[in-house]
Amino acid sequence: MGGNPAKNHYAQLNQGEENEMEIFGYKTQGCRKALCIAGYILSCGALLLLFYWKPEWDVWANCVRCSLEEADIVLLRTTDEFRIYSRKTVTWISVSALIRSRTDYPASAEEDSIFSKAIMKPSLQVKSIQVQKIRYVWNIYAKQFQKVGVLEDHHTCSAIHAKFGSGLTCNEQNVRRVICGPNTIDVPVIPIWKLLIKEVLNPFYVFQLFSVCLWFAEDYMEYATAIIIMSLLSIFLTVYDLRQQSIKLHRLVESHNNIMVSVCRNKEGFQELESHHLVPGDMLVLKEGKTLLPCDAILISGQCIVNESMLTGESIPVTKTHLPQADNFKPWRMHCAEDYKKHVLFCGTEVIQTKADDRGVVKAVVLRTGFNTAKGDLVRSILYPKPMNFKLYRDALRFLMCLVAFAAIGMIYTVCVFALNGEEAGEVVKKALDVITIAVPPALPAALTTGIIYTQRRLKKKGIFCISPQRINMCGQLNLICFDKTGTLTEDGLDLWGLLPSERNCFQDIHSFPADHSLPWGPVFRAMAVCHSLIVWQGKIQGDPLDVKMFEATNWVIDDSSGHQIEGQGSTHATVVRPGPKASSVPVEGVTILHQFPFSSALQRMSVIAQEIGGEQQVFTKGAPEMIAMLCRAETVPSNFENKLLLYAAQGFRVIGLACKSLPAGKQPTDLTREEVESDLTFLGLLIMENRLKRETKPVLEELSAARIRSVMVTGDNIQTAVTVAKNAGMISPMNRVILVEANQIPGSFSASITWKPLEENKTEDYRSLEDDSQTKRRIRLALESGQYHFAMTGKSYQIVTQHFRHLLPKLLLNGTVFARMSPGQKSSLVEEFQKLDYFVGMCGDGANDCGALKVAHAGISLSEQEASVASPFTSRTPSIVCVPELIREGRAALVTSFCMFKYMALYSTIQYLGVLLLYWQLNSFGNYQFLFQDLAITTVIGVTMSFTGAYPKLVPYRPPSQLVSPPLLLSVVLNILFSLSMQIFGFLVVQEQPWYSKTNIHSACLSMNNHMENYSSVSSLGLHGMRDGALEQTDNGYKSYENTTVWLLSTINCLIVALVFSKGKPFRQPIYTNYVFILVLIGQLGICLFLVFADIDDLYSKMDLVCTPTMWRISMVIMLAVTLAVSFLVEEAVIENRPLWLLLKKTFRYHSKSHYKRLQRVLEQDSAWPPLNETFFSDSVAISVERNMGGHSNPTFDSNEDSL
């Protein structure tokens, strides 16, 4: 078997990635396969259908376990809580036609690549599988499946330049092309027949098919036809919807699939070819002018300006620089750390402009192709969305299982009753199966979907679009919302407020904008004119809004017309800035920007090398003030730098530091490293920008706070600015304290420290005296004890806490309100950590850096009209956070509607089920038209109109229940079943005690009233009795009886009572009388039912299988129904909907919420030492080992107290 098969039978695919899977090897076995085929034939395809639903059973039945090396079938299982299985067949790719001799292969670029390690000798074949559009090949040496279509990560920067700098040879390219497959993101439009088959084989529709077949066998044609029509409609709507999505996605990607590109071939020069022929390692040559990128590539020479709005949602041009030729042993990605994206051109983005350096052309090495690219990843996330784990759907299945169990009891009862009475076997089986179709409502999923469709329509009217409707119900459970700051809570643009210049380590007078007099010429002015990455595109200055505002304040213009001669450098394409018509006179003609080090969020700064025309070269740097001050010579930084920075940051301004230095002559700007350039700078001053709150921010946050929904700010901005914005927006009330949590790595060791400091309002004001100081401390303590404190921390501290203080993380998140300087990865991680604490998390953001978090959150709301919104389930057309409470309101209403539908459907089927079982006792049942009236005229119409009720405009401070299996809901269902059962049994028994009742003569009641026409009646009764055996046989099909009439009329009107009682209004939905359609439908149905009770039309009665009863009995039935309505309504209002009563019961029985965060809250309330103010903790190696072993949440405080909860 090739070693121990059990040992090599299992491996992991994409370890540590979002789409991590377990993979198991299997080998098909002939005799097992033959047995399975026999099984398919004998079961008429039922076994095949079961295997279609459960691919793992298919593999286990047909195959035997073996090592992955020998496998011809692999079974994949996701590692999340869903453990979804899928089956894949191993395919073989032959490369023998390409490798004719030993000399052909392997070539220099291939020795350590997956391509040479995957080819099996001597057959020259490659073993591969394709999972979610990505191809994996078997690495013979590592004995595992590895992704192809990606350049390996182990290459160093210098290796990429050396190995791929001159391109691949034609042969290498061909081998790679065969193994990797074409470079296309191909989303074929799924044929309608495929969609149809997939939809029809859904277990629910299979159950419907079974029901329909049974009904046809019983001549229950009308309802069977109605169900077929409804199901077909539902199937066609779903298929149409899926087809439209498929077409939309196909159009979205097809434009990038075939572009002509220029490729550099080793030893053969340049070559034009179609982009789908590209392979990882190819050398792309980027030409002048606009081009769409067909793959991800690493820029290795020159510079590019790219529009990445397709990926990020921000249409700001981004500057890309080439990969440095660093000579070290670190893989290129590790070497560039978080900044590696500055060298990567992403698929689907548009190159607006290329700037060649002295080496001639702009070149890039293909990094990823096809579905491995950034765009491919986005498309895959739409094609294979992560399944949502929502209790409602799990409970729904359990609920249906309960109904099936319920039906099984009925089946046993049916078989016993009919068999004992000597019915023939065929009839008994039909009657027994009928019970299942009655007890399990086939219209349930359709009814649930309608509610969500209506909500989706209501949201669309309010400008909120939804691409994942099943998440709407989740919005009803949200209790924590993370907001991005810039562009979400605050206005998108920044306004230039002032400039605080610094000379000889002292701050000068502030220069305010818009000023009457212009800025004087000097280093600060030069920094503002050149330290940016702006370009002129389509006649407009484009770039970061901050850069645009800063540059506009100088009144200079960008002259981007041509290449410029620079001494000793030949011709390069450089940007020149010159004084504009409105600029004040300056002693220079212009300044040339020779080289850029683009802004990096990891380094929090950007730099340029510039040269006055005819002057010396200078470096200008701008970025986060703390960062810039560290890079400057200490003697140039003013002593009151920190105080000034705090003063402005505390007022909510965005502060930018500026610095410069002169460069020695004769050095090529391109030869300098970033570290050399950004050191020993001279501090120039602070640029102060204003970032105003949006008008609607404060009222929305107040509304959420009143509804007890937590708001958290997650931003890339400075922590002080973020705290101020949080205070101004009302996230942190003026009475509450802010505690800054700082974690630092201790240099040269594996441990770290964490400190808690109260964040002072304004450090410039010292406290008057010591008594004052002690009073302050007391005030802080009081605020802390009442739980009125908020933690604020930076991304760096958050990272260290997750690594070294894992046990403290849940406690910090419980009161963490401001998370500043967070990278995109940290934002996603934060959302996931909140979810681990059992919060339902919403994320509201507007752009690039939020994509990951928007996807991970339970409900991601994107405020961007860009395509990036495909990453989030909800997109708001109006770029303001007003959509958040709106969505929560609709979500709550949709959730309550789902519960109402569930309760109603369960009760309707139970009422019908009880009625039928009662009549089975007498070997009777409901007639076809009776069933039809209940199923179609009552339930279907109610199911469609019940969901019309809109959301209640006010958000209440509690959420609707998230579980179907909750005590109030179960009690409500059980009590209503009991009321219904008692009423039906009461009617069933009492009718038999009536003086006019006769078991055999169904006309006795009405005939006894016609005593004055005795002669006629005796003749007629004789006639009727005579006819009963003959002509009337067709009209009376054996269903007519007094019990049938009584039970059917009671159960039909009972369905209406239940519909009315279960239609919840406040506090989550508008009052029921606002749903006019539903009210009219109910009145109409009640009218028809009462007409049936009191009407005496022979034709109608015989059609409906009803018999005539005395008026008094009809009135008593109405009284029974009225009593049931009153009792049911009273119980629902006084017990089920009585929130104070349930809270009292919870308190009496000491029931506590099982949510992780609630338990933690209770523990911390008892802990007087938390939060530890002005204290520092150190992590030791133990903390790290705990974190490594646990992998999840380790929280000693919480664990030790768990038993006492």
| Catalytic site positions | 484
Rg (CA), the chain: 37
Please identify which residue in the block is written with the tokens 């009563």.
1141
Phi, psi of 412 (to 5 degrees): -60, -45
The span from the CA of 515 to the CA of 957, in Å, is 48
Instruction: Work out the number of other CB atoms within 10 angstroms of the CB of residue 400.
Output: 17
Cβ distance 1171 to 758 under 8 Å?
no
Q: Would you put residue 730 in left (φ > 0), alpha (ψ -120 to 50) or beta? A: left
Q: Residue 427: which residues within 8 A CB-CB, separation 6 or more?
A: 418
DSSP state of 331: B
Instruction: Work out the number of other CB atoms within 10 angstroms of the CB of residue 182.
Output: 16
Q: Which amino acid is at 184?
A: T
Crossing angle for the helix pair 30-42 and 55-62, to the nearest 10 degrees: 130
The span from the CA of 742 to the CA of 762, in Å, is 19
Cβ distance 448 to 400 under 8 Å?
no
Crossing angle for the helix pair 883-920 and 697-706, to the nearest 10 degrees: 40
Q: Report helix, strand or coil for 506.
A: strand
For 350-385, letters b (16+ CB in 10 Å) and e give ebbbbbbbeeeebbbbbbbbbbbbbbbbbbbbbeee
The span from the CA of 1018 to the CA of 1025, in Å, is 10
The span from the CA of 958 to the CA of 973, in Å, is 23
Helix (H) or strand (E) holding 610: strand 605-612
Instruction: Work out the number of other CB atoms within 10 angstroms of the CB of residue 657.
Output: 28
Phi, psi of 425 (to 5 degrees): -55, -45
Helix (H) or strand (E) holding 1158: helix 1156-1166
The span from the CA of 710 to the CA of 705, in Å, is 6
The span from the CA of 870 to the CA of 348, in Å, is 14
DSSP state of 306: E
Cβ distance 628 to 658 under 8 Å?
yes
The span from the CA of 974 to the CA of 976, in Å, is 6
DSSP state of 1133: I
Phi, psi of 384 (to 5 degrees): -125, 75
Cβ distance 623 to 599 under 8 Å?
yes
422: buried, middle or exposed (CB in 10 Å: 19+, 13-18, 0-12)? exposed
Crossing angle for the helix pair 425-439 and 203-217, to the nearest 10 degrees: 140
Q: Where are the beta strands (DSSP E) in 1050-1123?
A: none
The span from the CA of 498 to the CA of 1009, in Å, is 100
The span from the CA of 540 to the CA of 526, in Å, is 21
Residue 1171: asked if its preceding bond is cis (omega within 30°), the reply is yes
The span from the CA of 839 to the CA of 851, in Å, is 20
The span from the CA of 939 to the CA of 697, in Å, is 44
Say how many CA atoms lie within 13 Å of 101 toward its Cβ: 1
Strand duo 874-876 + 859-862: pairing: parallel
Q: Report helix, strand or coil for 329.
A: coil
